[in-house]
Amino acid sequence: MTPGQGAPDPTGSESQQVAVVAIGGNSLIKHRELRTVEDQYRAICETASHLVGLVRSGYRLVVSHGNGPQVGFIMLRSEIAREHAGLHHVPLSSAVADTQGAIGLQIQQALANELARHDLDDRVVTVVTQVEVDPDDPGFDTPTKPVGEFYSADQLQTLRSQHPDWILVEDSDRGYRRVVASPAPRAIVEQDAVDTLLAGGHHVVAAGGGGIPVVRTPEGLHSVDAVIDKDMTSSLLASNLGAPLLVISTAVEHVMVNFGTPDERPLSEVGVDEMERYLAEGHFAPGSMAPKVRAAIGFIRRGGRRVIITKPEQLDEAIRHGHGTHIVP
């Protein structure tokens, strides 16, 4: 596909507009043995090098990111510190905020350095981002999102006495894990700050991990222990910004239908109606591709012009030549 055939035109009407890029876990941890802070920074530097093409094409970037393993590391440290030193437990909402700061710093540095190497505007700012959710969201009635470490049956009584609000369920015969709600995002609290920074010429890192979930009460905003899907929040953020382009980077080059069968087929450019039909037919796994496709559909239905789902290293080819999967109105 060339720009004249429907791909975003680097020199056309979309110049100087915003692209929201949701980077997945593979942009942070390349392999289960490469999980140190230094390993993660090297992985982010590689991803940052693939974002330069978007900036060269005239886009101001808003970058969001996943944080699942990193939140797990913080919670494990918290449990070890509690067990061995009597330190207080770290709430899940605080762990999400911690990762927004730490991962945001790494993206901020890596992207700024990469842009400077290419003589591009290198102003990048991270915003610790709260996302409002509905306290009556059905997700709170049936928490299903596993977080943190595995516990043995012998630990259950102690955990339940120390954390009576926790819901612990058996997970694939590997032990017990805490599960939390995964409500839908309703509003991005720091939306005005993101708008202002973009208007001032900055690239912005925001809504890391889907945002810090908060509910609005008569007394103000209060954090809740939940996990918001980062692609759904990125979709909402892109819509709020009036961005023409949402990029969801993942570990695969294309979205596939009939995945894992002899009829497996990659999708290139797909209309939103067709994509909705594939989703309804169950082509996408609930814990991996389905949330990305659902986020993409929501963005297009709210007026977005294009969603690209592909590997980070394919982004430049996706913009210039239509590689990856493109979802359009």
Told to judge if 230 belongs to the known catalytic residues of this protein, a careful annotator would answer yes
State how far the Cα of 116 lies from the Cα of 291, in Å rounded to an integer: 34
The single residue of 66, 67, 104, 145 carrying the catalytic annotation is 145
According to CATH, the topology of domain 3-133+187-328 is: Carbamate kinase (3.40.1160)
**Stated pTM of the model:** 0.88
Q: Is 30 a catalytic residue?
A: no
For the stretch 231-258, what's the b/e string if a residue is b when 16 or more beta carbons lie within 10 angstroms of its beta carbon?
bbbbbbbbbebebbbbbbbbebbbbbbe
Catalytic residue among 139, 209, 210, 292: 292
Give the pairing type, strands 185-188 and 130-133.
antiparallel
* Separation CA 319–CA 234 (nearest Å): 19
- Tell me which residue has tokens 């762990």: 95
Catalytic: 67? no
Q: Where are the domains positioned within the chain?
A: 3-133+187-328
Q: Tell me if residue 148 falls in helix, strand or coil.
A: strand
Out of 24, 68, 230, 324, which one is annotated catalytic?
Answer: 230
Annotated active-site residue 240? The verdict is: no
**pLDDT digits (tens), the chain, 329 positions:** 333 334 444 333 344 799 999 998 767 776 667 778 899 999 999 999 999 999 999 999 999 999 988 888 898 888 889 889 988 889 999 999 999 999 999 999 999 999 999 999 999 999 999 999 999 999 898 887 777 667 888 888 888 888 888 888 887 677 888 888 899 999 999 999 999 999 999 999 999 999 999 999 999 999 998 999 999 999 999 999 999 999 999 989 999 999 888 999 999 999 999 999 999 999 998 877 999 999 999 999 999 999 999 999 999 899 988 999 999 99
Q: Which of 25, 53, 58, 175 is catalytic?
A: 25
Q: Is 322 a catalytic residue?
A: no
